[in-house]
Structure 1
Amino acid sequence: MSKKLLSKNKTVRKLSRNEKQRITIANLALIPFVIKDYIDALIKAYNPTFTYELKAEFFYYIIATIIKRQNTYENKALKNIPVALNATILRGIKSNYNEYIDWLIEQEVIFKAENYVPGLSSNKYCFADFVLPSLKLDSTSEIVEMKALESSKVIVARSIQESEVYEENKHLLKWFNDDLEIDFERAVTYMEDLSYYEGEIFDLTHKKVHWNHQILALHHKAFYATRNEESDFRLHTALTNLKKIFKPFITYKGQELIGYDLKNSQPFFLIFLIDSIINNNSRIDNIIDRIYTKRIYNSFMLQKLREVLSTEGFQKEYEIFKTWVLNGEIYENMESIMNPKKRLGSYFTNKYIASKKVTEKKKIDNVRALMKGVIFTLFFSSLKTRNSDYKSFKKVFPNLVTVIEIFKRVANADFSKLLQNIESDCIIDFVSKKIANEYPEMPLFSIHDSLSTTEKYAPILEDLMSEYIFEYTGLMPKIEEERWRKYDYQVDYKKKVELHPEWY
């Protein structure tokens, strides 16, 4: 079925000016077979009556969008969390979109979360308890076409080449073609046999629903790309959402992929941000303008920042922190000042569970992971956090934390968005474009702060990535190699050897 659909992707035409003003959605969508079968049966039996002509594809689109939005970095646990749907897109497809959502709720396919606050938050939806057991028993998905949803306001892109962001990111997106493959059968076998993940043994059934969706998207070549200037401005693709445990099964033209990650990327770009403000570097001006209004930044934030940055206390702290980051030893050095205590052979940290609205203790075996969590809390927590690690770090680096908190004064998420925008501008718009211009024949894939290519071009990528990050930031980065085929995906070693002896 997928080959027949894919043949339509080979002819790519340019969009007209009119079409560029329309919202774009992807033509191919994955929907769990059990849900599609259930919806089809209900439509056939009861033929729901809506204001306008019924289109079953809209039901499929809503379901596929919920799964896709649950398959995000924010939902690392891959739980059945409530997610928002884009009302502008839904309304563009069907003005009576609420009738479709209400019908799915009535049929107990999805339900609406109760924490909606008019004017402050969006309606959020997740799968109802009625369908969850069926999903867990059969996580297979079917690929369906969305062409029937095209309207005067929505264009359905037949391929990734027709996505809204393709032309600006062509140097990366052109490699999403038939040569990018996943060894689907082996990936499925591995997933079905997996019972141990991230240091714990527990029920993985709902995770496997999401994992199956991720590998099916690659298997069926249901490629997509999004990049939102109003949020993190990162390039999101079928690879950025792919769980690392499936990297060993990915090849391009049958060749292994090798990636290069910018070590300690968020602290690294914090250093670049602070240096840019101190040295009046205009490179960040446009990025800051995306996040903050000129009035707020120039009249309030910049004045406060310069006051803190000019103090002797900040300069002493910054010299230490900057050395740690640029030496690639930030987590090791943080351990010495945080002095974490082991209990029963493990470390523990407090983690806020938004869905339960409670703080729970989480076991962490690796002290590096624990210190990474402290930085994550430092960058992403609210100003009102009661996290003990945050307070401990602030005691040692009070002026540095004050600088970070200035960036959070208007909205807590602004600081993380700012760092992600800087990262994206550096890696996507500067580094990868320069490499692609110099070596247009080099396959190049981005996953946020990392770039990957095939074995043949790996040494070139490693050298140029360091060179161009330095050219952009004036800072010498630490780059780590990641061989996708040899990725340590946290399964018992004996089990890995039994499953894939050829890798060892």
Structure 2
Amino acid sequence: MSQYYVLIPKHLSLEQRLSKFPPDFKLSVDYCYYFISDIIKESCKKDTEEYGSFESVINHFIPRCSEINQSIYRNSKQNINYLYRDFGGEGRMLWKRNYKPGGCYAYHLPKYYWGDGELEMYCITDKTFARKIIKINAPQIDNTVRKRFDFTRGYFDVSRFELDAESALNELYMDYLQTGDYNKYLLNAQRVIDFKNGCFNFYNKPETDGRLHTAITSFSKLCRKYLKYDSENLAEVDLSSSIPFFLSYILSIPTISRETKAGILCTQLCSQDILYHYMIVESLVKPSDREVADFRELVLNNELYEYFKDSFMNLPNFESSFEMMFNRQFDGDEDDLRKYTKNKFLAMLFAHPKYYIKEQAVFYNHFPKIYELTKKFKRVKFEGVLPSERHKRLSYLLFQLESYFMVHTIAREINNTFKRKIPFFTLHDCLVVKESDLDQVYELMHKIFIREIGYVPNMTQKIWR
């Protein structure tokens, strides 16, 4: 690539400043916009509010080392000083906090230049400078990805993707106007730009969630319809209620002997420590076959959240909780109620036992032993793990199972069976393929689940458009 894209505020006009106050040196517009975009990108990382308001995000000074600036662009000092200079009637385009021992100069873009907060894409066309930036911002790839899932990386070819970035950015801004969460807008807008630049990161932490995190998994759902591959729409095969499904799966493995069940799970889980503790807890709290069968039937029929929705709606905190989740009052819409129930159920399942007490009581009333098992597992002691962090092991357990089936087994088999002729992207509990490959991949996934576990989760198909 000989171009590189950055985010800048729509209200920002460096050209106006240059026309009024032309510099007495050769200023690089590309470098100035890159420097400002770097400050903008780092601003969201400084914000600590749960829902980052516009003001809370833009009011940070971002440290930037002068030596690093100069390594990126030799004449950086003159360019930055021009932006900092206070021209009469124009003011400063950058505020600067002076150097302190142990710290660098720090910079801040004044609120005026942010305008109403809307961001746009700017293309750096200086080929030499663009190549240097691309090298500096090279994708991050965990070694565990290279070792375990390297076969997934080849499909991330920027020349085969088509992204309508302008429409995607506009969609994100419209969403920000609804939610007021500027930090989320800024993060997702930067991900759009990273995708446009072909900066495809890959992360995998086998001992925690075990999931494969990519540019697709972090790409905003709102923007998916603006993404194509080989000029085709992308489409997904999604496992409905995937987390409850893998919970029902692990509970349903026949316990002819503890060693046999542990042997099966040993090949599927990355963390043997998590497996060891799970087997201990299951030996102490074993749900009845009937309870497990009832839970699994609800999951396989995609009826789990419908089963709980009336009970959750009748809880005393429902109205305020719903309004907090959706930023509006409940109007009786059944789809909204299902989304609410799903979010609450999964939050309860993964949260520390001291939270979601009322929702836990509902779960206990319907599935007492499954509830006791999950609660006990979230409290079990792990060496070197703080008590406040123990509950996370339940999510790690289920996410590792999800990753084993979706990436290690299904994605790998598709890659080998079709000899890399069917591009695919994993999205946690989804497999994303071209629309023309959707039916073929769906059928193969069905066969793999039958072969591996003897039954199939509820799977849905959706085209990104």
Scaled by the length of structure 2, the TM-score of the pair is 0.68
Deviation at 1:415, TM superposition (A): 0.6
Deviation at 1:426, TM superposition (A): 1.0
Map 1:360-379 to 2 at 5 A: 363=329, 365=333, 366-379=336-349
Could you tell me which residue of structure 2 aligns to residue 321 of structure 1? 295
Task: Give the distance between the partners of 2:130 and 2:210, measured in 1 at CA.
Answer: 26
Could you tell me which residue of structure 1 aligns to residue 442 of structure 2? 462
Could you tell me which residue of structure 2 aligns to residue 220 of structure 1? 197
The AA in structure 1 aligned to 2:378 is K
Given that residues 262 and 449 in structure 1 are in contact (C-alpha distance below 8 angstroms), is that contact kept between their aligned partners in structure 2? yes
Deviation at 1:229, TM superposition (A): 1.8
Given that residues 181 and 251 in structure 1 are in contact (C-alpha distance below 8 angstroms), is that contact kept between their aligned partners in structure 2? yes
Residues 458 and 204 (structure 1), Cα distance of their counterparts in 2 relative to 1, 3 Å cut: same
Deviation at 1:31, TM superposition (A): 6.3
Task: Give the distance between the partners of 2:112 and 2:219, measured in 1 at CA.
Answer: 22
Contiguous gaps of at least 5 residues in structure 2: 15-33, 58-67, 69-98, 382-389
Task: Give the distance between the partners of 1:164 and 1:61, measured in 2 at CA.
Answer: 29
Task: Give the distance between the partners of 1:433 and 1:227, measured in 2 at CA.
Answer: 16
Larger Rg: 2
Deviation at 1:445, TM superposition (A): 1.2
Given that residues 171 and 436 in structure 1 are in contact (C-alpha distance below 8 angstroms), is that contact kept between their aligned partners in structure 2? yes
The AA in structure 1 aligned to 2:446 is S
Given that residues 282 and 373 in structure 2 are in contact (C-alpha distance below 8 angstroms), is that contact kept between their aligned partners in structure 1? yes
Residues 454 and 140 (structure 1), Cα distance of their counterparts in 2 relative to 1, 3 Å cut: same
Could you tell me which residue of structure 1 aligns to residue 62 of structure 2? none
Could you tell me which residue of structure 2 aligns to residue 89 of structure 1? none
Task: Give the distance between the partners of 2:328 and 2:396, measured in 1 at CA.
Answer: 26
Give the 3-state SS of the residue equivalent to 1:442 in structure 2.
Answer: coil
Could you tell me which residue of structure 1 aligns to residue 313 of structure 2? 340
Residues 444 and 349 (structure 1), Cα distance of their counterparts in 2 relative to 1, 3 Å cut: farther
Map 1:376-455 to 2 at 5 A: 376-409=346-379, 410=381, 411-439=390-418, 440-455=420-435
The AA in structure 2 aligned to 1:318 is V
Task: Give the distance between the partners of 2:113 and 2:369, measured in 1 at CA.
Answer: 51
* RMSD, aligned α-carbons: 4.7
Deviation at 1:157, TM superposition (A): 8.0
Residues 173 and 384 (structure 1), Cα distance of their counterparts in 2 relative to 1, 3 Å cut: same
Deviation at 1:482, TM superposition (A): 0.9
Deviation at 1:210, TM superposition (A): 2.8
Deviation at 1:249, TM superposition (A): 0.9
Instruction: After superposition, give the CA deviation of every residue in 1:392-416 in whole Å (9 maximum; x if it has no partner).
Output: 2222222111111122123011111
Moved more, 181-190 or 425-434: 181-190
Given that residues 141 and 213 in structure 1 are in contact (C-alpha distance below 8 angstroms), is that contact kept between their aligned partners in structure 2? no
Residues 389 and 216 (structure 1), Cα distance of their counterparts in 2 relative to 1, 3 Å cut: same
Q: Identity over aligned residues, as a percent?
A: 19
Instruction: After superposition, give the CA deviation of every residue in 1:305-325 in whole Å (9 maximum; x if it has no partner).
Output: 12321x6xx333222111111
Given that residues 78 and 210 in structure 1 are in contact (C-alpha distance below 8 angstroms), is that contact kept between their aligned partners in structure 2? no
Confirm whether residue 331 of structure 1 aligns to residue 322 of structure 2: no
Scaled by the length of structure 1, the TM-score of the pair is 0.63
Task: Give the distance between the partners of 2:338 and 2:326, measured in 1 at CA.
Answer: 20
Residues 140 and 59 (structure 1), Cα distance of their counterparts in 2 relative to 1, 3 Å cut: closer
The AA in structure 2 aligned to 1:340 is M
